[in-house]
Structure 1
C-alpha cells in the first residue's frame, strides 16, 4: 500500500473513532528540540559521566538515595539543555483531537510536560514529570517551571529533606496510580490505538498495542524506523510525529484546530 493511501485510511479511522489511546515517546518531542534517545537521557548516549558512570547508574533510584548530589548534577544539566522547549504540532494536534472526541487519552513516556502544556488533559505520564518535585522525607510536592536558581540538590522548604524530581529513575517501579489508570482506559473500551515516536521496548508500552491487535482493534504506528511493535500493527506511517499528525488532521479538517 502506498504511503499516501495509508495516511488516508488512518485519517478516516481517526475521524470515525471516538475513543482513542495515543502512546507517545521521545520522537513526539523531537521537533521541540529534545533528544530522542531515552528522552531525558539522550544527551549521554554511549558516553560516561565525569564520575565514570553510565547515565543509567547516575540516574538510578539507588544513586538518588545514596548520592543525590550525583543524580541531581546530571538531572539539572539535562534539564538546562532542554529548557525553553515548547509544544510542537504533534502535541497540539493530539490535544485538538481530545477536544472533539469522547475520549482521547495519552500514555506518554516523556517527562517533559509538553503534552500537558499543549492542552492534553487525559494524560498518563507513566515516567512522571520533571517539573514536579517531591520531598524524599515528608513527600510534599512542588511544581517548578524549570530548575533555574535551584540549589542542587534542593532542600524541602517544609522539613529540610532532599527534593527529587517526580520521575521514574532507573531501577524504580512504575507509579501504581498511572498503571491503574492505563488498565482502566483499556478496560473501558477503545476504538483505536496509535503509537507515535517510541521504540516500544518497554512491555508496558508495547503491551496495549499487542492487546489491541489480539482484540482485532485498529492499531497504527507512526515512526520513521522499525520498532518492537512494527510487525504487529495494522497500519504503519514511516513519518516523523509532527508531519504525520499534520497530515492526519488536515485530511479531515478544513482549518487549524481551535484554541483551548
Structure 2
C-alpha cells in the first residue's frame, strides 16, 4: 500500500530504508535541479512550455536530431538560450546529500534525465547521464571531442577546429536513440541487485525512467517517490513524499543519522 502523505512517521520510515540499504538507485529529473534555480522543461529548461519558437516550431522540433542535421543554427539557437539560463547553477542540497550517500555507501547509483551535470558537480561518481550532458561537445563530421564549462565565448553553431564541421552537445535530442552504454549500465545495476529505488523530481513519462520502479514492484524491492505532484509511478511506489527534493533529502539525511 502506498503511503502518500509526508508526515514525520513517513519521513522516518523512508530514512530507515535509506539507512539500512546498501545498494540504492536514485532516479532524478528536472525537479531535483529546480532547487538550483533551473527552469524545468524535461530537464533542460522551462522556457518553451506550451509556446512555439520564433520560427513557429515546437521545442521538440527545434531540438530534434533531424533539425540538428539540417539546420544546426536553429537547434543551437535554443540549446544556447537554454544553457545561458542554466549557467552558473550550483548543486542543490538534494544533489549534495545523494553524493554524501554515495561516499557512505559505495552501492549508490544515480540515473538522471538531466543534462546539467549537477550530480557530478556535487561529487557523485556513479552517474548514468541517460540524456548526456551539455558540457561535452562532439563533432558531427570527425572524431574530435571537447569538454566545456559553459557556452560563453562560443560562436553558435561552433565549428570543429579539426575539420570545420559542426560541433554539437553530447545530448540526446528528440527523435534520437538513447546511448547504449547508459542502457547497459542501468541493466547492470539492476541485475547486480538493488535494495531500494528512489524517484525524485521526475514525471516518469519515459519507459526507461518508470521501468525500474515497475521492476522494483514486481521483485519486492521497496520504492520511494519524492515529488510534490502526481506522476506515472505515484500509485505503485511503497512510500510517496509530497515534498520538494532539497527539503526531502535534507530531512532524510538528518533523520537517517539519528536512527539507532
TM range (shorter): over 0.9
Tell me which residue corresponds to 1:88. 92
Aligned length in residues: 254
Shift of 1:253: 2.5
Contact 2:45 2:85 in 1 (8 A): no
Match of 1:16 in 2: 20
**Shift of residue 41, structure 1, vs aligned partner:** 4.2
State the shift of 1:222 in Å: 0.3
Could you say which residue in structure 2 is the equivalent of 1:105?
109
Q: TM-score, normalised by structure 2?
A: 0.96
SS in 1 for 2:35: helix
1:73-222, aligned counterparts within 5 Å? Answer: 73-222=77-226
1:257 aligned partner: none
Instruction: Kindly state the Cα deviation for residue 102 of structure 1 after the two structures are TM-superposed.
Output: 3.0
In 2, the alpha carbon distance for the partners of 1:120 and 1:140 equals 27
Moved >3 Å (runs of 4+): none
2:243 maps to 1:239: yes
Describe the superposition over 1:32-90 as per-residue Cα deviations: whole angstroms up to 9, x where unpaired: 11112312142111111111111000000000000000000110011111111000100
Are the counterparts in 1 of residues 201 and 226 from structure 2 also a CA contact under 8 Å? yes
TM-score of the pair, normalised by structure 1: 0.96
Give the corresponding residue for 1:226.
230
